[in-house]
Amino acid sequence: MQLLPLWQDPMAKKNSAPAGQSTNGSTHPLADRVQARVAEVGLALDQRARASRPRSKRTRAPGPTSAAQATPPTREASSLRRVFNELAVTHRQFRLRSGQHASPGLREAARAFKDSPSLPSLVVVAAFLEEDGLLEW
């Protein structure tokens, strides 16, 4: 019979992590990890923009121009959107495998991000996925 220290719970949850660590073993706070992922995606977007192969040039039919179409999204906005889409795909695959529905809290967080994309609103969305152990970074 193995004796355990009093502070150690022999019936601890399988995926519980020590204080300061996430379920994937990372010791970095979630906000830092999300910011690092957004930066990584931004670099990938920069590399793609500098690629030697030129984009195909399609002729566009003249249509009504709006303020949103006139200015391309910034690098940060594009990076935030890409990371959000990665999270959406990951969660969608999880829901298909598990048969679960998205929680109302996650839906509200996603809606808040779509209304005003920002790093803090993306961190809230990522927190829901982290809770389910779905983040790999």
pLDDT in tens, 68-86: 556 778 999 999 999 999 9
For residues 8-35, average pLDDT? 59
Residue 22 pLDDT level (bands cut at 50, 70, 90): very low
Looking at residue 73, its pLDDT comes to: 84
Looking at residue 118, its pLDDT comes to: 97
Q: What is the pTM of this model?
A: 0.68
What gap in Å lies between CA 39 and CA 101, rounded to an integer? 30
Buried residues in 59-92 as b, exposed as e (16+ CB within 10 A): eeeeeeeeeeeeeeeeeeebbbbbbbebbeeebe
Residue, of 62 and 18, whose pLDDT is higher: 62
Q: What percent of the chain has pLDDT over 90?
A: 57
Looking at residue 67, its pLDDT comes to: 54
Q: Is the pLDDT of residue 33 over 60?
A: yes
Find out whether 75 and 46 touch, Cβ atoms under 8 Å. yes
pLDDT in tens, 80-107: 999 999 999 999 999 999 999 999 999 9
Q: What percent of the chain has pLDDT over 70?
A: 66
